[in-house]
Amino acid sequence: MNQNELKKSLSQLDLGNVKYFDSTGSTNDEALAWAANDADDLSLVIADEQTAGRGRLGRKWITPKGTALAFSLILNPTPEEKLHLSRIVGLAALAVVQALQKRELSSQIKWPNDILLDRHKVGGILTESVWTGEDVDCVVIGIGINVAKESVPPDEALQFPATSLEQALGHSPERVEVLTDILNAFIELRPRLGTEEFISQWESQLALRGETVQVNPEKAPAITGQVDGLESDGSLRIRNEHGEFVTVRFGDVRLRPLA
């Protein structure tokens, strides 16, 4: 990644400090270590390659060199934002959706943290918080986006079909431009985090609405039902087989396999 272009492009934004790595294990790990040493709000870690990229629940995120976006933003939440921590993943997801919309790509958010293009995963988000007792100090928001087609892992490494911006657009966009658009959208959306309108905006981009899915909450039996919408804390609302509404705070959504 051209560091001069990166610096020039990011200087237009009101960010904290920026750390760039040609290669690192995980930008989230770098950001968590930095956050522990008092990083400024909206400081950014970005890498051209990750050798130990992480997804949720110990899963791997693959970022081959020179092909993708992998970055982590450090957020020092205001007292007001601390009331809406569970919405931050939605803030990041909406920022990605808006940056792709700018390129005429209509993406959707597969709850809780996947970005889909035409039902294929093009990006993923991993938010991690640092706490002192009951108080959150900072939130690290890790975002990975497949840009060039070479960033898409082989099928055997995937639980869900994947794609890249290059495959959707027919050409590979400049990574720095996509990054700048995502960060810009994030900064613009941030003041709306606590509003009701924010939830409806997030909900309007939800993938699989009305479709029958299986949700596997952590440490609870699977639920089968239709995706109905979002609760005000960003939980997923499902209408189960008995017509009852069930909310899921953590979990994986799977399209129910056809029998």
Footprint of ligand BT5 on this chain (CB under 6 A)?
A: 26-28, 50, 53-57, 59-62, 70-72, 113-114, 121, 124-126, 142-144, 146, 151, 153, 157-159, 162
Residue 80 CB, shortest distance to ligand BT5, in Å, is 26
Considering beta carbons, is residue 114 or 203 the nearer one to ligand BT5?
Answer: 114
What are the backbone angles phi and psi of residue 105, rounded to the nearest 5°? -105, 130
Alpha carbon distance, N-terminus to C-terminus of the chain: 46
Considering beta carbons, is residue 159 or 195 the nearer one to ligand BT5?
Answer: 159
Residue 31 CB, shortest distance to ligand BT5, in Å, is 8
Q: Answer yes or no: are the C-beta atoms of 186 and 42 closer than 8 Å.
A: no
Residue 129 CB, shortest distance to ligand BT5, in Å, is 14
What distances in angstroms separate CA 187 from CA 1, 190, 197, one per listed residue? 23, 5, 16
Residue 126 CB, shortest distance to ligand BT5, in Å, is 4
Residue 148 CB, shortest distance to ligand BT5, in Å, is 11
Tally of CA atoms within 13 A in the half-sphere of 255 that contains its CB: 12
What distances in angstroms separate CA 145 from CA 39, 84, 107, 125, 151, one per listed residue? 24, 25, 12, 9, 9
Considering beta carbons, is residue 12 or 159 the nearer one to ligand BT5?
Answer: 159
Say which amino acid occupies 44. L
Considering beta carbons, is residue 239 or 254 the nearer one to ligand BT5?
Answer: 254
Q: Per this entry, what is the length of the chain?
A: 259
Considering beta carbons, is residue 83 or 158 the nearer one to ligand BT5?
Answer: 158
Cα torsion 255, 210, 86, 63 to 10°: value is: 40
Considering beta carbons, is residue 192 or 254 the nearer one to ligand BT5?
Answer: 254
**C-beta nearest to ligand BT5: residue:** 124
Residue 83 CB, shortest distance to ligand BT5, in Å, is 25
Say which amino acid occupies 257. P
Report the alpha-carbon distance of residue 141 to residue 74 in Å, rounded.
6
